C-alpha cells in the first residue's frame, strides 16, 4: 500500500510539471463588424491583410502589434506590387522600397489618413492580390429605418479589406460597389459603404432657351425640345474610367429630329453657370425598337469614358443633352399623354471599373387635344345642323413681330399642319348624317390655347355668323399628369374629358327672316293692285270711245 501511494505521488508530480511546462494560451477573441448601407441585396467580403495582437486597454486600445501577413492576401506578391507601384514613387524613392515583411509595410501605413489618396492606392494593390480566404456577410435582406445591416462575424484581430463580392450588385438597380474599405477590426465596429450614384432628370418645352418642365402641350406637327440633365457621383474622382450613357425612349407619337446641344454645366461657387461644349466627344444612335409591345424610338447617347473626353470634369458638374422631336399623327390624345422616358447607365465599380449601374426612369410628357364642335340651332340647341362650312385658324407672331393668321390643314379629322394661305387650308363641314354625329366637326391634335372659327357658309335656312367665333381650350396639370380640361366658345362654357382629351362645345346659328308665303297678304295686295289697273284701263277705253263718237 505504501508503494502504491508513492507511485501515485510521483505520477501526480510529473503531471503538475507537464502542466506548468505548457504555455498558457487564452482562447482568441473574434470580432463582429457591421456594414450599414441603404440598399438590400449586397454581399460583402472581408479579407485579412495583417494579422496580429489587438490591444484592448488604455491608450493603446485598437493598436495592432506582432504584425504578420493575414490569410486574405498573398504577402509576397502584395509587397512586390507595392514596390512596383509608381504612384508610391520609383526605385529607391518608392515608399515601400525598404520593406521586407508585413510589419515593415504596416509602419509605412502608420499615420496615413483614412481618406488619403495613398491609402486608396494601397487598397487597390491589396485588391489585386487577394487569396480565396475571406469572411462573407450575412443579413441585409431588409431595411430598418432606411438602413440595411450586414454582419461580418468571426473575424480574428487584424487589418482588413472589405469590399462587395465581385458581380454581386444587381445591374438593374440604382446602386454601386463600395470603394475598398480598410480598417483595423475590433469588436462592435460599424462601417458605411463608400460611394455614391449619379442622377438624371428629363424636361420638355417648345423652346431650347426656356425653362424645361415635366410636361408641355402642343399641336400635332409642332416641334418640342427635350433636356437630359445627368449628375456625377460625389466620389467621381475615385474612378479611373467612367462610362456614361443616356438611354431615351420616345413613344410612337413622337418623331426624333436631331441632337441640338451637348455640353457640361459647370458651377463655380455662386457664380453663373458656365457651359462647355462637348462637341463630338460622344456617339448618338437613334433606332426603332419594340418596347411594351409598341414600336418606339430609342435614342442612345454614349460617352465611352468621361475621364478621357473631359479630364478636368468635376464631381459637381452636370452632363446636358438637348434634342428635338415632333408630335406626329400617331399621338395619343389626352389621357396618359405621349410619354418619353430616360435612364442613365453608368460605371458603378470604382475598384474594377464595372459598367453596371442604372438610374430609375425619369419622364416628360407631351399632350394634345381633340375639339368636337357641334353646329346647333340658336333657339333649340338639341337640333343639330349639317352643312355648315368653317375655317379654323390661330394667330401667330412672325419673325418681323407681325400677327398673322394660320389656317388649319386637317386630314381625316387630324390636324396635319398650318398655312397662311386660306385657299390651301381645309374647309371643315358639319356632318349631315343622321344620328349622334349630325352637326359634328372634329379636329384632333390641338394645343391648349385660343383659336377662331370663321364661317364660310351657314346651314340651309340659317343666317351666316358675321363675326369670327373664339374657341379657348384650357388644360391643368399636377406634375406631368393631366388633371383638368375645359373650353369656351366665346363666353359659353363647353365640356372637357381628361380621359380622352376631348373638349366639346356648340356653335349656334339663328334661322333667317321668314318671308310672306302664297295666299298671304302680299298676294292680296297684288290682286287689289291688278284690279285697280284693269278698272282704270276700262274707264280710259270708255272715255276714249265717247270722245271719238262726239267728233
Q: How many residues appear in the chain?
A: 551
Q: Do 356 and 373 share a structural domain?
A: no
Q: What is the pLDDT along the chain (551 residues), one digit of tens a residue?
A: 444 333 333 332 333 223 223 333 344 678 899 999 988 999 999 999 999 988 776 655 667 889 999 999 999 999 999 999 999 999 999 999 999 999 999 999 988 988 888 999 999 999 999 999 999 999 988 888 889 999 999 999 899 999 999 888 877 778 999 998 888 887 778 999 989 999 999 999 999 988 999 999 999 999 999 999 999 999 999 899 999 999 999 999 999 999 999 999 887 665 556 677 777 789 999 998 888 778 899 999 999 999 998 888 999 999 999 999 999 999 999 999 999 999 999 999 998 888 889 999 999 999 999 999 999 998 999 999 999 999 999 999 888 889 999 999 999 999 999 999 999 999 999 999 999 999 999 999 999 999 999 999 999 999 999 899 999 999 999 989 999 999 999 989 999 999 999 999 999 988 865 445 444 444 444 444 455 555 565 566 555 555 555 55
Q: Do 183 and 50 share a structural domain?
A: yes
What confidence score (pLDDT) does residue 517 get? 46
Residues 6+ apart with CB under 8 A from 284: 259, 299, 300, 301, 302
Helix residue spans in 85-156 (DSSP H): 102-109, 117-127
Digit-coded pLDDT (tens) for 279-323: 778 999 999 888 877 889 999 999 999 999 888 899 999 999 999
* CA pair distance 166, 169, nearest whole angstrom: 8
CATH number at residue 418: 2.60.40.10
Q: Tell whether 437 is covered by a domain.
A: yes
What confidence score (pLDDT) does residue 24 get? 35
What confidence score (pLDDT) does residue 549 get? 54
What confidence score (pLDDT) does residue 21 get? 33
Q: Tell whether 355 is covered by a domain.
A: yes
Digit-coded pLDDT (tens) for 61-80: 667 889 999 999 999 999 99
Secondary structure (3-state) at 402: coil
Q: Tell whether 1 is covered by a domain.
A: no
What pTM was estimated for this model as a whole? 0.81
Q: Do 381 and 350 share a structural domain?
A: no
Locus of grid cell 445627368: 230
Q: What is the DSSP letter of 11?
A: H
Secondary structure (3-state) at 515: coil
Q: Do 53 and 134 share a structural domain?
A: yes
DSSP H or E segment with residue 527? helix 521-550
Q: Where in 206-292 does DSSP place strands (E)?
A: 215-217, 223-230, 244-250, 254-266, 274-277, 283-291
State which of 366, 398, 415 marks the end of a domain. Answer: 366
Secondary structure (3-state) at 7: helix
Q: Do 462 and 447 share a structural domain?
A: yes
Q: How many CB atoms lie within 10 A of CB 114?
A: 10
Q: Do 475 and 392 share a structural domain?
A: yes
Q: Do 460 and 356 share a structural domain?
A: no
What confidence score (pLDDT) does residue 354 get? 84
What confidence score (pLDDT) does residue 207 get? 92
Q: How many domains does the chain have?
A: 3
> What are the cell numbers at 235?
466620389
Rg of the chain on CA atoms, in Å: 44
State which of 147, 169, 191 marks the end of a domain. Answer: 191
C-alpha angle 516/518/521, rounded to 5°? 55
> What are the cell numbers at 483?
388633371
What confidence score (pLDDT) does residue 312 get? 87
What confidence score (pLDDT) does residue 15 get? 31
Q: Tell whether 174 is covered by a domain.
A: yes
The DSSP bridge partners found for residue 277 are 263
Q: Do 126 and 187 share a structural domain?
A: yes
Which residue segment(s) compose the domain that 237 sits in?
200-366
What confidence score (pLDDT) does residue 168 get? 87
* CA pair distance 47, 158, nearest whole angstrom: 10
Q: Do 382 and 341 share a structural domain?
A: no
What confidence score (pLDDT) does residue 273 get? 63
Q: Do 490 and 378 share a structural domain?
A: yes
Q: Tell whether 171 is covered by a domain.
A: yes
Secondary structure (3-state) at 423: helix
Residues 6+ apart with CB under 8 A from 20: none
CATH number at residue 210: 2.60.40.740
Largest CA distance in the chain: 211
Nearest Cα neighbor of 148 from 33, 34, 32, 39 is 39
> What are the cell numbers at 17?
510539471
* CA pair distance 336, 350, nearest whole angstrom: 40
Residue 246 near residue 342, CB atoms below 8 Å: yes
The beta-carbon contacts of 474-477 under 8 Å, at least 24 apart in sequence, are 474/448, 475/217, 475/367, 475/369, 475/448, 477/214, 477/215
Amino acid at each position: 500500500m505504501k508503494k502504491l501511494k508513492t507511485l501515485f505521488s510521483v505520477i501526480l508530480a510529473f503531471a503538475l510539471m507537464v502542466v506548468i511546462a505548457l504555455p498558457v494560451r487564452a482562447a482568441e477573441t473574434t470580432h463582429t463588424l457591421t456594414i450599414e448601407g441603404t440598399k438590400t441585396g449586397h454581399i460583402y467580403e472581408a479579407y485579412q491583410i495583417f494579422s496580429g495582437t489587438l490591444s484592448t486597454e488604455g491608450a493603446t486600445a485598437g493598436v495592432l502589434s506582432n504584425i504578420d501577413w493575414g490569410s486574405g492576401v498573398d504577402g509576397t506578391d502584395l509587397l512586390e506590387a507595392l514596390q512596383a507601384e509608381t504612384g508610391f514613387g520609383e526605385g529607391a524613392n518608392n515608399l515601400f522600397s525598404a520593406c521586407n515583411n508585413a510589419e515593415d509595410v504596416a509602419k509605412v501605413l502608420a499615420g496615413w489618413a483614412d481618406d488619403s489618396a495613398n491609402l486608396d492606392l494601397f487598397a487597390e494593390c491589396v485588391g489585386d492580390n487577394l487569396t480565396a480566404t475571406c469572411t462573407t456577410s450575412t443579413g441585409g435582406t431588409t431595411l430598418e429605418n432606411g438602413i440595411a445591416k450586414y454582419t461580418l462575424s468571426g473575424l480574428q484581430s487584424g487589418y482588413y479589406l472589405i469590399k462587395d463580392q465581385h458581380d454581386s450588385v444587381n445591374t438593374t438597380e440604382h446602386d454601386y460597389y463600395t470603394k475598398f474599405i480598410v480598417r483595423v477590426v475590433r469588436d462592435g465596429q460599424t462601417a458605411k459603404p463608400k460611394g455614391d450614384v449619379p442622377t438624371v432628370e428629363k424636361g420638355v418645352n417648345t423652346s431650347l432657351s426656356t425653362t424645361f418642365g415635366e410636361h408641355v402641350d402642343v399641336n400635332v406637327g409642332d416641334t418640342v425640345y427635350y433636356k437630359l440633365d445627368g449628375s456625377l457621383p460625389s466620389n467621381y474622382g475615385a474612378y479611373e474610367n467612367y462610362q456614361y450613357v443616356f438611354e431615351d425612349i420616345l413613344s410612337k407619337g413622337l418623331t426624333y429630329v436631331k441632337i441640338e446641344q451637348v455640353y457640361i454645366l459647370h458651377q463655380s461657387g455662386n457664380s453663373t453657370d458656365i457651359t462647355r461644349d462637348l462637341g463630338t466627344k460622344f456617339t448618338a444612335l437613334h433606332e426603332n425598337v419594340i418596347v411594351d409591345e409598341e414600336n418606339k424610338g430609342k435614342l442612345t447617347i454614349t460617352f465611352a469614358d468621361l475621364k478621357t473626353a473631359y479630364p478636368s470634369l468635376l464631381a459637381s458638374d452636370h452632363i446636358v443633352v438637348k434634342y428635338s422631336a415632333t408630335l406626329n399623327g400617331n399621338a395619343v390624345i389626352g389621357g396618359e399623354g405621349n410619354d418619353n422616358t430616360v435612364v442613365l447607365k453608368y460605371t458603378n465599380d470604382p475598384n474594377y471599373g464595372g459598367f453596371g449601374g442604372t438610374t430609375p426612369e425619369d419622364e416628360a410628357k407631351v399632350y394634345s387635344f381633340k375639339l368636337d364642335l357641334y353646329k346647333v340651332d340658336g333657339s333649340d340647341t338639341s337640333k343639330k345642323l349639317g352643312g355648315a362650312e368653317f375655317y379654323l385658324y390661330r394667330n401667330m407672331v412672325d419673325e418681323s413681330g407681325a400677327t398673322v393668321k394660320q389656317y388649319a390643314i386637317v386630314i381625316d379629322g387630324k390636324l396635319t399642319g398650318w398655312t397662311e394661305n386660306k385657299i390651301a387650308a381645309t374647309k371643315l363641314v358639319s356632318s349631315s348624317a343622321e344620328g349622334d354625329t349630325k352637326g359634328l366637326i372634329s379636329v384632333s391634335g390641338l394645343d391648349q390655347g385660343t383659336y377662331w372659327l370663321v364661317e364660310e357658309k351657314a346651314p340651309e335656312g340659317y343666317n351666316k355668323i358675321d363675326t369670327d367665333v373664339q374657341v379657348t381650350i384650357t388644360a391643368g396639370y399636377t406634375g406631368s399628369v393631366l388633371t383638368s380640361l375645359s373650353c369656351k366658345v366665346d363666353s359659353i362654357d363647353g365640356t372637357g374629358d381628361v380621359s380622352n382629351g376631348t373638349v366639346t362645345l356648340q356653335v349656334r346659328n339663328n334661322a333667317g327672316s321668314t318671308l310672306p308665303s302664297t295666299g298671304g297678304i302680299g298676294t292680296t295686295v297684288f290682286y287689289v293692285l291688278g284690279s285697280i289697273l284693269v278698272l282704270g284701263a276700262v274707264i280710259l277705253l270708255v272715255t276714249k270711245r265717247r270722245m271719238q263718237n262726239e267728233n
